[in-house]
Protein backbone atom coordinates (compact mmCIF):
# COMPACT_ATOMS: atom_id res chain seq x y z
CA UNK A 1 0.00 0.00 0.00
CA UNK A 2 1.61 3.25 -1.03
CA UNK A 3 1.09 6.41 0.99
CA UNK A 4 0.47 9.43 -1.26
CA UNK A 5 0.83 11.69 1.78
CA UNK A 6 4.47 10.81 2.01
CA UNK A 7 5.04 12.38 -1.46
CA UNK A 8 3.29 15.60 -0.51
CA UNK A 9 5.21 15.90 2.73
CA UNK A 10 8.55 16.06 1.00
CA UNK A 11 7.56 18.13 -2.00
CA UNK A 12 8.64 21.37 -0.33
CA UNK A 13 12.18 20.16 0.22
CA UNK A 14 13.83 21.83 -2.84
CA UNK A 15 16.97 19.70 -3.11
CA UNK A 16 15.12 16.59 -2.08
CA UNK A 17 12.36 16.82 -4.69
CA UNK A 18 13.84 14.51 -7.29
CA UNK A 19 14.97 12.11 -4.61
CA UNK A 20 11.53 12.17 -3.04
CA UNK A 21 9.97 11.48 -6.46
CA UNK A 22 12.29 8.55 -6.90
CA UNK A 23 11.24 7.43 -3.45
CA UNK A 24 7.59 7.74 -4.37
CA UNK A 25 8.10 5.77 -7.57
CA UNK A 26 9.74 3.09 -5.52
CA UNK A 27 6.87 3.25 -3.04
CA UNK A 28 4.48 2.82 -5.95
CA UNK A 29 6.08 -0.53 -6.64
CA UNK A 30 4.88 -1.73 -3.25
CA UNK A 31 1.64 -3.50 -3.85
CA UNK A 32 1.17 -5.14 -0.48
CA UNK A 33 0.78 -4.08 3.14
CA UNK A 34 4.20 -4.19 4.83
CA UNK A 35 3.02 -6.87 7.23
CA UNK A 36 2.05 -9.18 4.32
CA UNK A 37 5.32 -8.41 2.62
CA UNK A 38 7.14 -9.28 5.80
CA UNK A 39 5.38 -12.61 6.32
CA UNK A 40 5.71 -13.56 2.65
CA UNK A 41 9.43 -12.88 2.73
CA UNK A 42 9.90 -14.58 6.06
CA UNK A 43 8.00 -17.66 4.86
CA UNK A 44 10.04 -17.90 1.71
CA UNK A 45 13.37 -17.74 3.52
CA UNK A 46 15.04 -21.04 4.25
CA UNK A 47 17.49 -21.16 7.12
CA UNK A 48 20.79 -22.37 5.76
CA UNK A 49 24.08 -22.99 7.54
CA UNK A 50 26.52 -20.05 7.58
CA UNK A 51 23.81 -17.67 6.44
CA UNK A 52 22.45 -14.72 8.33
CA UNK A 53 20.01 -11.89 7.70
CA UNK A 54 20.59 -8.49 6.21
CA UNK A 55 17.30 -6.71 6.68
CA UNK A 56 14.84 -9.16 5.11
CA UNK A 57 17.51 -10.67 2.94
CA UNK A 58 19.44 -13.84 3.69
CA UNK A 59 23.10 -13.28 2.96
CA UNK A 60 26.34 -15.04 3.75
CA UNK A 61 27.85 -14.01 7.08
CA UNK A 62 30.77 -12.37 5.32
CA UNK A 63 28.39 -10.25 3.27
CA UNK A 64 26.55 -8.98 6.38
CA UNK A 65 29.46 -8.20 8.63
CA UNK A 66 32.22 -7.74 6.11
CA UNK A 67 33.57 -4.39 5.11
CA UNK A 68 32.80 -5.09 1.48
CA UNK A 69 34.42 -2.88 -1.09
CA UNK A 70 33.32 0.37 -2.58
CA UNK A 71 35.25 -0.41 -5.79
CA UNK A 72 33.62 -3.78 -6.36
CA UNK A 73 29.88 -3.22 -6.39
CA UNK A 74 27.71 -5.88 -4.79
CA UNK A 75 25.23 -7.81 -6.98
CA UNK A 76 22.16 -5.70 -7.77
CA UNK A 77 19.80 -8.53 -6.82
CA UNK A 78 20.32 -7.79 -3.14
CA UNK A 79 17.63 -5.61 -1.54
CA UNK A 80 20.06 -3.35 0.18
CA UNK A 81 23.13 -4.30 -1.80
CA UNK A 82 25.51 -3.21 0.95
CA UNK A 83 27.03 -4.66 4.11
CA UNK A 84 26.37 -3.44 7.65
CA UNK A 85 29.81 -1.83 7.59
CA UNK A 86 28.94 0.08 4.42
CA UNK A 87 25.56 1.10 5.86
CA UNK A 88 27.17 2.93 8.78
CA UNK A 89 30.11 4.17 6.73
CA UNK A 90 27.54 5.75 4.43
CA UNK A 91 25.23 7.24 7.09
CA UNK A 92 27.89 8.35 9.62
CA UNK A 93 27.88 12.07 8.77
CA UNK A 94 24.06 12.32 8.71
CA UNK A 95 23.48 9.79 11.50
CA UNK A 96 22.63 12.24 14.28
CA UNK A 97 20.38 14.49 12.22
CA UNK A 98 18.57 11.45 10.79
CA UNK A 99 17.82 10.15 14.27
CA UNK A 100 16.32 13.46 15.34
CA UNK A 101 14.25 13.66 12.17
CA UNK A 102 13.02 10.07 12.19
CA UNK A 103 12.07 10.03 15.84
CA UNK A 104 11.26 13.74 16.31
CA UNK A 105 13.88 13.67 19.07
CA UNK A 106 12.33 10.71 20.91
CA UNK A 107 15.57 8.69 20.64
CA UNK A 108 17.12 11.25 23.03
CA UNK A 109 14.52 10.45 25.69
CA UNK A 110 15.13 6.70 25.28
CA UNK A 111 18.87 7.24 25.72
CA UNK A 112 18.28 9.45 28.81
CA UNK A 113 16.10 6.68 30.26
CA UNK A 114 18.92 4.19 29.72
CA UNK A 115 21.20 6.41 31.82
CA UNK A 116 18.61 6.82 34.56
CA UNK A 117 18.20 3.07 34.69
CA UNK A 118 21.98 2.61 34.83
CA UNK A 119 22.37 5.22 37.60
CA UNK A 120 26.18 4.85 37.57
CA UNK A 121 28.02 5.22 40.88
CA UNK A 122 31.29 7.19 41.18
CA UNK A 123 34.20 5.23 39.75
CA UNK A 124 32.08 3.26 37.25
CA UNK A 125 34.03 1.77 34.34
CA UNK A 126 31.62 1.68 31.38
CA UNK A 127 32.07 -0.08 28.07
CA UNK A 128 29.68 1.23 25.40
CA UNK A 129 29.75 -1.23 22.51
CA UNK A 130 28.55 -0.17 19.05
CA UNK A 131 28.84 3.28 20.62
CA UNK A 132 28.95 5.02 17.23
CA UNK A 133 28.89 8.79 17.54
CA UNK A 134 29.04 8.74 21.34
CA UNK A 135 25.47 9.54 22.45
CA UNK A 136 25.55 7.11 25.39
CA UNK A 137 29.12 8.00 26.39
CA UNK A 138 28.40 11.74 26.51
CA UNK A 139 25.26 11.16 28.57
CA UNK A 140 27.30 8.98 30.93
CA UNK A 141 29.96 11.68 31.37
CA UNK A 142 27.29 14.34 32.05
CA UNK A 143 25.58 12.07 34.52
CA UNK A 144 28.66 11.10 36.55
CA UNK A 145 29.95 14.67 36.49
CA UNK A 146 26.72 16.10 37.89
CA UNK A 147 26.56 13.32 40.50
CA UNK A 148 30.15 14.02 41.51
CA UNK A 149 29.57 17.79 41.69
CA UNK A 150 26.56 17.27 43.93
CA UNK A 151 28.63 15.03 46.19
CA UNK A 152 31.47 17.58 46.28
CA UNK A 153 29.07 20.38 47.20
CA UNK A 154 27.70 18.29 50.04
CA UNK A 155 31.23 17.59 51.27
CA UNK A 156 32.26 21.24 50.99
CA UNK A 157 29.20 22.31 52.94
CA UNK A 158 30.20 19.83 55.63
CA UNK A 159 33.77 21.22 55.73
CA UNK A 160 32.90 24.91 56.14
CA UNK A 161 36.43 25.91 57.15
CA UNK A 162 38.23 25.04 53.84
CA UNK A 163 40.37 27.83 52.31
CA UNK A 164 39.50 29.28 48.86
CA UNK A 165 42.62 27.58 47.44
CA UNK A 166 41.44 24.23 48.71
CA UNK A 167 37.96 24.77 47.29
CA UNK A 168 39.38 25.85 43.89
CA UNK A 169 41.65 22.77 43.84
CA UNK A 170 38.62 20.52 44.35
CA UNK A 171 37.13 21.85 41.08
CA UNK A 172 40.33 22.08 39.03
CA UNK A 173 41.23 18.54 38.11
CA UNK A 174 39.16 17.47 35.13
CA UNK A 175 39.66 13.72 35.73
CA UNK A 176 38.63 14.21 39.35
CA UNK A 177 35.41 15.90 38.25
CA UNK A 178 34.22 12.45 37.12
CA UNK A 179 34.94 10.78 40.45
CA UNK A 180 37.16 8.20 38.71
CA UNK A 181 34.47 7.13 36.24
CA UNK A 182 35.51 6.27 32.71
CA UNK A 183 33.86 5.24 29.46
CA UNK A 184 35.28 3.33 26.52
CA UNK A 185 33.36 3.65 23.25
CA UNK A 186 33.95 0.60 21.08
CA UNK A 187 32.65 0.39 17.51
CA UNK A 188 33.56 -1.60 14.42
CA UNK A 189 33.17 1.39 12.11
CA UNK A 190 35.89 4.01 11.94
CA UNK A 191 33.66 6.58 10.21
CA UNK A 192 31.14 6.48 13.07
CA UNK A 193 34.00 6.83 15.59
CA UNK A 194 35.43 9.73 13.60
CA UNK A 195 32.14 11.64 13.83
CA UNK A 196 31.96 10.78 17.54
CA UNK A 197 35.47 12.09 18.19
CA UNK A 198 34.69 15.33 16.32
CA UNK A 199 31.55 15.77 18.42
CA UNK A 200 33.51 15.13 21.62
CA UNK A 201 36.04 17.77 20.64
CA UNK A 202 33.37 20.31 19.71
CA UNK A 203 31.36 19.72 22.88
CA UNK A 204 34.38 19.69 25.19
CA UNK A 205 34.41 16.02 26.28
CA UNK A 206 37.99 14.93 26.91
CA UNK A 207 38.61 13.36 30.29
CA UNK A 208 37.48 9.83 31.07
CA UNK A 209 36.71 9.01 27.43
CA UNK A 210 38.43 6.56 25.06
CA UNK A 211 37.57 5.42 21.52
CA UNK A 212 38.39 1.89 20.43
CA UNK A 213 37.87 0.25 17.06
CA UNK A 214 36.57 -3.25 17.75
CA UNK A 215 34.03 -5.94 17.01
CA UNK A 216 31.27 -6.74 19.53
CA UNK A 217 31.78 -10.41 18.68
CA UNK A 218 35.46 -10.34 19.58
CA UNK A 219 36.05 -7.51 22.01
CA UNK A 220 39.65 -6.32 22.33
CA UNK A 221 39.50 -6.29 26.17
CA UNK A 222 40.57 -8.60 28.99
CA UNK A 223 38.11 -10.62 31.07
CA UNK A 224 36.36 -9.04 34.10
CA UNK A 225 37.27 -5.47 33.18
CA UNK A 226 34.10 -3.33 33.23
CA UNK A 227 31.32 -2.53 35.72
CA UNK A 228 28.73 -1.85 33.05
CA UNK A 229 28.36 -2.88 29.41
CA UNK A 230 25.90 -0.94 27.25
CA UNK A 231 24.82 -1.46 23.68
CA UNK A 232 22.25 0.93 22.19
CA UNK A 233 20.71 0.25 18.78
CA UNK A 234 23.77 -1.87 18.07
CA UNK A 235 23.11 -5.55 18.73
CA UNK A 236 20.53 -5.76 15.92
CA UNK A 237 23.37 -5.19 13.47
CA UNK A 238 25.70 -7.87 14.79
CA UNK A 239 26.01 -11.10 12.79
CA UNK A 240 26.12 -13.51 15.77
CA UNK A 241 24.10 -11.96 18.59
CA UNK A 242 24.81 -14.92 20.90
CA UNK A 243 28.56 -14.42 20.41
CA UNK A 244 28.27 -10.70 21.23
CA UNK A 245 26.30 -11.53 24.40
CA UNK A 246 28.98 -14.01 25.48
CA UNK A 247 31.63 -11.37 24.94
CA UNK A 248 29.60 -8.91 27.03
CA UNK A 249 29.53 -11.49 29.81
CA UNK A 250 33.27 -12.15 29.54
CA UNK A 251 34.43 -8.52 29.81
CA UNK A 252 32.11 -7.64 32.72
CA UNK A 253 33.39 -7.93 36.29
CA UNK A 254 31.45 -10.31 38.56
CA UNK A 255 28.51 -8.18 39.75
CA UNK A 256 28.67 -6.16 36.53
CA UNK A 257 25.60 -5.13 34.60
CA UNK A 258 24.54 -5.59 30.98
CA UNK A 259 22.15 -2.98 29.55
CA UNK A 260 20.77 -3.04 26.04
CA UNK A 261 18.55 -0.43 24.36
CA UNK A 262 17.11 -1.84 21.15
CA UNK A 263 14.05 -1.81 18.92
CA UNK A 264 11.50 -4.35 20.03
CA UNK A 265 7.94 -5.55 19.44
CA UNK A 266 5.05 -3.07 19.55
CA UNK A 267 2.32 -4.34 21.86
CA UNK A 268 -0.62 -2.16 20.73
CA UNK A 269 -2.24 -3.29 17.43
CA UNK A 270 -3.26 0.22 16.34
CA UNK A 271 0.16 1.74 17.09
CA UNK A 272 1.73 -1.28 15.42
CA UNK A 273 -0.16 -0.58 12.14
CA UNK A 274 0.71 3.13 12.22
CA UNK A 275 4.30 2.31 13.08
CA UNK A 276 4.51 -0.13 10.16
CA UNK A 277 3.12 2.52 7.84
CA UNK A 278 5.50 5.11 9.18
CA UNK A 279 8.49 2.74 9.03
CA UNK A 280 8.00 1.41 5.53
CA UNK A 281 6.52 4.48 3.85
CA UNK A 282 8.26 7.36 5.58
CA UNK A 283 11.66 6.32 6.95
CA UNK A 284 13.32 5.24 3.66
CA UNK A 285 12.01 8.47 2.05
CA UNK A 286 13.56 10.49 4.90
CA UNK A 287 16.79 8.52 4.38
CA UNK A 288 16.78 9.37 0.69
CA UNK A 289 15.92 13.05 1.16
CA UNK A 290 18.17 13.85 4.12
CA UNK A 291 21.05 11.41 3.78
CA UNK A 292 20.76 10.57 0.08
CA UNK A 293 20.60 6.95 1.16
CA UNK A 294 17.41 4.94 0.69
CA UNK A 295 19.05 1.52 1.06
CA UNK A 296 20.50 2.09 4.52
CA UNK A 297 17.14 3.19 5.87
CA UNK A 298 15.36 0.32 4.14
CA UNK A 299 17.87 -1.90 5.92
CA UNK A 300 17.09 -0.13 9.22
CA UNK A 301 13.34 -0.80 9.09
CA UNK A 302 13.77 -4.36 7.91
CA UNK A 303 16.36 -5.17 10.56
CA UNK A 304 13.98 -3.78 13.22
CA UNK A 305 11.26 -6.21 12.14
CA UNK A 306 13.68 -9.13 12.24
CA UNK A 307 14.91 -8.51 15.76
CA UNK A 308 13.56 -10.89 18.46
CA UNK A 309 10.69 -9.88 20.74
CA UNK A 310 11.25 -8.72 24.33
CA UNK A 311 10.77 -12.26 25.73
CA UNK A 312 12.90 -13.98 23.07
CA UNK A 313 15.75 -11.55 23.60
CA UNK A 314 15.48 -12.01 27.38
CA UNK A 315 15.98 -15.77 26.84
CA UNK A 316 19.05 -15.11 24.70
CA UNK A 317 20.58 -12.92 27.41
CA UNK A 318 19.94 -15.64 29.98
CA UNK A 319 21.50 -18.22 27.66
CA UNK A 320 24.68 -16.13 27.64
CA UNK A 321 24.92 -16.59 31.42
CA UNK A 322 23.31 -13.41 32.76
CA UNK A 323 21.10 -13.46 35.85
CA UNK A 324 18.15 -11.41 37.05
CA UNK A 325 17.31 -10.52 33.45
CA UNK A 326 14.48 -8.00 33.15
CA UNK A 327 13.21 -5.62 30.49
CA UNK A 328 11.15 -2.49 30.21
CA UNK A 329 9.24 -1.64 27.05
CA UNK A 330 9.18 2.05 26.10
CA UNK A 331 6.80 3.89 23.74
CA UNK A 332 4.44 0.91 23.40
CA UNK A 333 7.36 -1.46 22.80
CA UNK A 334 8.89 0.44 19.88
CA UNK A 335 12.06 -0.01 21.93
CA UNK A 336 12.95 -1.93 25.09
CA UNK A 337 15.74 -1.78 27.64
CA UNK A 338 17.01 -5.19 28.74
CA UNK A 339 19.10 -5.55 31.87
CA UNK A 340 21.06 -8.48 33.29
CA UNK A 341 23.83 -9.15 35.81
CA UNK A 342 26.98 -11.25 35.74
CA UNK A 343 27.09 -12.99 39.12
Ligand X SMILES: C[S@@+](CC[C@H](N)C(=O)[O-])C[C@H]1O[C@@H](n2cnc3c(N)ncnc32)[C@H](O)[C@@H]1O
Ligand Y SMILES: COc1cc(O)cc(C/C=C(\C)CC/C=C(\C)CC/C=C(\C)CC/C=C(\C)CC/C=C(\C)CC/C=C(\C)CC/C=C(\C)CC/C=C(\C)CC/C=C(\C)CCC=C(C)C)c1O
Contacts with ligand Y by CB under 6 A lie at 3, 5-6, 9, 87, 91, 95, 98-99, 102-104, 106-107, 233, 271, 274-275, 277-278, 281-283, 296, 299-300, 331, 334
Cα 138 to Cα 129: distance, rounded to the nearest angstrom: 14
Q: How far is CA 140 from CA 72, 145, 155, 168, 223, in A?
A: 40, 8, 22, 24, 22
| Residue 6 φ then ψ, to 5° | -70, -25
Give the DSSP H or E segment for 165. Answer: helix 164-172
Four-residue CA torsion sign, 32, 35, 38, 39 = negative
In the bound state with ligand Y, the residue whose beta carbon lies nearer, of 111 and 182, is 111
- Residue 131 or 179: the one with the smaller Cβ distance to ligand Y is 131
Distance between CA 259 and CA 117 in Å, rounded?
A: 9
Longest dimension (CA), the chain: 76
User: Cβ closer to ligand Y: 85 or 299?
Assistant: 299
Closer residue to ligand X in complex, CB, 148/249? 249
Q: Which residues are at the interface with ligand X (CB under 6 A)?
A: 84, 88, 129-132, 135-136, 187-189, 192, 215-217, 232-234, 237-238
Burial of 219 (0-12, 13-18, 19+ CB in 10 A): buried
Which CB, 5 or 255, lies closer to ligand Y?
5
Q: Give me the least distance between CB of 310 and ligand X, in Å please.
A: 19
Smallest distance from the beta carbon of 276 to ligand Y, in angstroms? 9
Closer of 29 and 104 to ligand X (Cβ): 104
Element (H, E) at 60: strand 57-60
State in angstroms the smallest separation of the CB of 342 from ligand Y.
Answer: 26
Partner from ligand Y, ligand X, none contacting 278, C-beta within 5 to 8 A by type: ligand Y
Nearer to ligand X by Cβ, of 177 and 279: the residue is 279
Please report how close the Cβ of residue 188 comes to ligand X at its closest, in angstroms. Answer: 4
Shortest spacing between CB 61 and ligand X, in angstroms: 11
Secondary structure (H, E, C), 216-261: CCECCCCCCCEEEEEEECCHHHCCCHHHHHHHHHHHEEEEEEEEEE
Binder of residue 113, out of ligand Y, ligand X, none (CB less than 5 to 8 A by kind) = none
Q: Which residue is nearest to ligand X (CB)?
A: 132
DSSP state of 137: H
Minimum distance between the CB of residue 222 and ligand Y, rounded to whole angstroms? 29
> Which of 122, 135, 61, 78 lies closest to 298, judged by CA?
78
Question: Binding partner of residue 187 among ligand X, ligand Y, none, CB under 5 to 8 Å per kind?
Answer: ligand X
Minimum CB distance to ligand Y, residue 234 (Å) = 8
Q: Which does 131 bind (CB under 5 to 8 A by kind): ligand X, ligand Y, none?
A: ligand X
Q: Is 93 in contact with 195 (CB distance < 8 Å)?
A: yes
**What is the smallest separation between the CB atom of 92 and ligand Y, expressed in angstroms?**
10
- For ligand Y, the closer CB: 212 or 330: 330
DSSP state letter for 305: H
Amino acid sequence: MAAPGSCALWSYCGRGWSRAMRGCQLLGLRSSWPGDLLSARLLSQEKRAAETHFGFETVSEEEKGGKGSSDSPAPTTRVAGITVYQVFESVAKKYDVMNDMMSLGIHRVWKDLLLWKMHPLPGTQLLDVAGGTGDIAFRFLNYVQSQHQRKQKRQLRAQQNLSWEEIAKEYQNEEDSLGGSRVVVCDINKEMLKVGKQKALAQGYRAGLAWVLGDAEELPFDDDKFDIYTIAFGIRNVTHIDQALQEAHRVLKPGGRFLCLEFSQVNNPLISRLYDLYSFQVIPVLGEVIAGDWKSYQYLVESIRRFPSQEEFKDMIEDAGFHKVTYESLTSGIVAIHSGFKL
